[in-house]
Amino acid sequence: MADVMSSIEPAAISQTSTAAESLESPALSLAARQVRVGELALGPRERFHLQRVIDSDRLSYGPVTREFEATFARLHEVPYACFCNSGTSALQIALTALKEHRGWADGDEVIVPAVTFVATVNAVLHAGLKPVLVDVQPDTYNIDPCRVADAIAPRTRCIMPVHLLGLPADMSPILELARQRDLAVVEDSCETMFARYRSRPVGSMGDIGCFSTYVAHFLVTGVGGFATTHDPDLARLIRSLMNHGRDNIYITIDDDDETGSPRFREIVDRRFRFERVGFSYRATELEAAIGLGQIEQWESIVASRKANGEYFSAALADLADVLRTPTIPSDREHAFMVYGLVVRGESMRPLVYHLEENGIETRDMLPLIHQPVYRGWLGDDVGLRFPVAEHLYERAFYIGCHQYLTDEDRAHVVRTIRRFFNR
């Protein structure tokens, strides 16, 4: 497998002066604090909107959530963005909505990448559908479109690419395959926001895009997620499904306020009508308030993350023989939810332990294969069938790249990695 990975050129990212300067600062013995994968500091914008909610005495779907949804939709260039209680919920209602809309049967197949978080696969299973794994590309770690074509079978209904770690998947060939074979596309964009692929924002290219606002993501609301779409029918289904499957005539407590309106009596008659087996996947105004405060700062959040990613790549560029830094194809942006690293040796564990022991948090890069929960389904030869995922399973991890990293944090990360390799 070493050949698979070493055949790819190391990422070509130019050295920035900030990276070089910080490396010349005095050595840090130990980080003053943990360099975490994600952090949160509630600033004045978040506090302002939280106070609005507290002053309104209202928690259920209301003006703050509507504002958050409208801003999110505008920034991702879609007409509909539905805020719900998690990225997993968004994925599950996306698939359930498509299942009803397109008349899929239980056991129909959804193609997913072999490197992702378990929630991608779990959402497929919870929707009564069958996940079909496809290996990823060795340079971007995203689903390999060539292998997607090979995995399409008579019962395939949907392709679910994941925009991993902040980098959009190669969408053009996936969208083209879907068009030719009349398949739906759900973008699992739970790890990527605000990034563009060939000038189109993530979450705007497929039938439905799904996002997470859980801790350590771009926007952090505690729990939360979005389902985005261009299709008004799918938007109606999504809203209904997250609200117990109810008739869309009544989604917010304001919907029956206008007693004089011509539809008032119809709303009263229909407001407790349920049309499908739905879920209770609503978020509250409190999550939306935090999200609204953060999304108002989205440009600086993404700019810091990109600057951190570029800093790490520049400062580690000469270690390309031992460590792979992220590859960014020229047709897309990397929004750096986190910073992925792949060791070129046999195992990442010694480096991971070294980082953790020096106050730098790491996470394995989304190991899906070899999970005990999927053993029966994936079988014992899983590593042979997904060689790139297998390679990454032993060697790939990520560290934090967020806007709260200080110059000291970044320098400490680089020094600690360099010390491990004696370079």
Ligand X SMILES: Cc1ncc(COP(=O)(O)O)c(C=O)c1O
Interacting residue ranges for ligand X, rule: CB under 6 A: 86-88, 116-117, 119-120, 162, 188, 190-191, 212, 214, 225
Q: How far is the CB of 105 from ligand X (least distance, A)?
A: 24
> Residue 219 carries which side chain, given as an amino acid letter?
L
Nearer residue to ligand X within complex by CB, 22 or 88 = 88
Nearer residue to ligand X within complex by CB, 287 or 333 = 287
Nearer residue to ligand X within complex by CB, 169 or 351 = 169
Q: How far is the CB of 274 from ligand X (least distance, A)?
A: 25
Beta carbons within 10 angstroms of residue 222's beta carbon: 15
The answer to whether 295 and 219 are in contact (CB under 8 A) is yes
Q: How far is the CB of 86 from ligand X (least distance, A)?
A: 3
Nearer residue to ligand X within complex by CB, 119 or 288 = 119
Which helix (H) or strand (E) segment holds residue 287: the answer is helix 285-295
Nearer residue to ligand X within complex by CB, 191 or 310 = 191
Q: How far is the CB of 97 from ligand X (least distance, A)?
A: 17
Q: How far is the CB of 113 from ligand X (least distance, A)?
A: 9
Nearer residue to ligand X within complex by CB, 121 or 152 = 121
**Closest residue to ligand X in the complex (CB):** 87
The string of DSSP codes covering 23-77 is HTSPPPSS-SS-B-S------HHHHHHHHHHHHHT--SS-HHHHHHHHHHHHHTT
* Long-range contacts, 61-68 (Cβ 8 Å, 24+): 61/251, 61/252, 61/253, 61/282, 61/285, 62/252, 62/253, 62/254, 62/285, 64/285, 64/288, 64/289, 64/292, 65/283, 65/284, 65/285, 65/288, 67/288, 67/292, 68/288, 68/289, 68/291, 68/292, 68/295
Phi (first) and psi of residue 394, to 5 degrees: -85, -20
Q: How far is the CB of 195 from ligand X (least distance, A)?
A: 14
Nearer residue to ligand X within complex by CB, 289 or 314 = 289
Q: How far is the CB of 365 from ligand X (least distance, A)?
A: 11
Distance CA 234, CA 270 (A): 20
Nearer residue to ligand X within complex by CB, 177 or 283 = 283
The answer to whether 326 and 192 are in contact (CB under 8 A) is no
Residue 164 Cα to chain centre, angstroms: 6
Phi (first) and psi of residue 269, to 5 degrees: -70, -35
Q: How far is the CB of 409 from ligand X (least distance, A)?
A: 22
Q: How far is the CB of 276 from ligand X (least distance, A)?
A: 22
Distance CA 230, CA 79 (A): 6
Distance CA 64, CA 60 (A): 10
Q: How far is the CB of 164 from ligand X (least distance, A)?
A: 7
- Please compute, for residue 128, the number of CA atoms within 13 A of its CA located in the half-sphere on the CB side: 10
Nearer residue to ligand X within complex by CB, 286 or 320 = 286
Phi (first) and psi of residue 176, to 5 degrees: -65, -45
Helix (H/G/I), strand (E/B), else coil: 296:
coil
Nearer residue to ligand X within complex by CB, 225 or 291 = 225
The answer to whether 225 and 190 are in contact (CB under 8 A) is yes
The answer to whether 209 and 76 are in contact (CB under 8 A) is yes
